[in-house]
A and B are shown apart, each in its own frame.
Chain A
């Protein structure tokens, strides 16, 4: 295998990892802060992708139009996240975690059916933004510009999340909530409002992932469930609740998907689970997971 093919393979894996990281970081943020495993996370991703497909036509098909479309899509989904937290989850914090899981699962089914009714069973693929399509030539290899864009964007999101977590008041309190949310009440924090913010940020990240990848995939029924499973695997491999872990998990799983599809096409679906099983045998809490959960 040539160095060029290997480079393309690695970049393809990393571009998958980029989307997985963005989506899984939202899931891990929500879990870390609120201890909720959010089954509607995939629905938020799906809505992000559909909304991008709809709104992109309204903008011109260049990078700016794409930027406008995905910001609009993600913000709409973040608003939906606020509604879900307010109307459903807020009533269930006192109860068992199983209730939250079941409620968000039920919502996932409702949202899935809603998408099917509104957009039908046919798939759509929004066009790639003109300035991001095409390829770069590196030696003999030609690399899709969009891959590079996705990887750069995920790196930007990682830095932005780091800044949010470490340099802002809300972020510091969110990190504190990971450790002890009852103590937050004791120090005068409105934990309910903090949870709403966390859930909205989680939904925003899921939608951002969906909107970014939409031009590369077939947007249709079922993408909610597949991304839910994949981002859950990423979050678990990295250590649930840990954003840095989500980076490692996403890179491992992205590369496993990319190389799995090339070298073990019959078993490519199983590749990510194989990685997960191996990681969990070695580190039951995930790569960067902590013991106290």
Chain B
């Protein structure tokens, strides 16, 4: 039922996170294949963001493990995971507003270059060129010398993506990439993600509360409700799953 590529990229094993008496993520098991485009969907409060935070080291699991290929990554700091190849873009737009678009990406490349705090971190020709390529991929190369803070909202989100993609990650994690977007912007973003996935052949894991956004995009969908995996599979099987229909679709209001 699941069309999974060659190896396993990112996996969660019995992943659990409690906040006091509240269990936000409860015994989650997930295996995301290399080069897979997976969506995690669920109503607001289903535990999607907590799950992402556990996978990127922003939160430590109460129990369970996260693996990147054959490397145990739970318990590592978020900045270390970037060096292992896990990139993340958040729900809010994160850019350096007073730098130019190009400087934003160069800074991202500086961050991940070997020996982050090395004294002579002068951007080399190669870094400049990589930055240009990433900007071209997300479609904002023409704006490269403009200040990031004055870009249109959609272009800022594209820059946010470019920052995440700059260090050539193996896995890209996106928190509700279309949150707060108009239908047109949502369509643009979906097309951009599809293009990135096809050209870079990287693993993409995205969370979304709007099911319709991911049906045309994701290969496989994991449905999270109340911190537990309710269903998993390709879009068609998830859509027709009666449990999903009653538990999730019936409740989602936004």
Contacts and interface: CB of A to CB of B under 8 A. Distances in A.
Interface of A: 167-170, 172-173, 176, 179-180, 182-191, 193-194, 197, 290, 292
B130 to A, nearest CB: 13
Looking at A169, A172, A184, A190, the one whose CB has the most chain B CB atoms below 10 A away is A169
Given A188-B83, A191-B79, A179 B97 contact: yes
Contacts of B94: 180, 182-183, 186
B79 A185 contact: yes
A35 B167 CA distance: 28
Contacts, number: 86
B111 A188 contact: yes
Nearest to B164: A186
A193 B79 CA distance: 11
Contacts of B120: 168-169
A170 B122 CA distance: 10
Contacts of B67: none
A187 B111 contact: yes
Nearest to B163: A187
Contacts of A170: 117-119, 121
B163 A183 contact: yes
Q: Is the interface of A mostly helix, strand, loop or mixed?
A: helix
B206 to A, nearest CB: 16
Interface string B84-106: 00011110001111110000000
A190 B117 contact: yes
15 contacts: A167-B122, A168-B121, A169-B120, A169-B122, A172-B121, A173-B111, A180-B94, A186-B78, A186-B87, A186-B164, A187-B108, A187-B163, A188-B82, A189-B116, A292-B97
Interface string B163-207: 110110000000000000000000000000000000000000000
A131 B173 CA distance: 62
A214 B119 CA distance: 31
B13 interface: no
Contacts of A185: 78-79
Interface string B220-249: 000000000000000000000000000000
A188 B78 CA distance: 7
Contacts of A190: 77, 79, 116-117
Contact of A179 (B78, B79, B87, B99): B99
A90 to B, nearest CB: 14
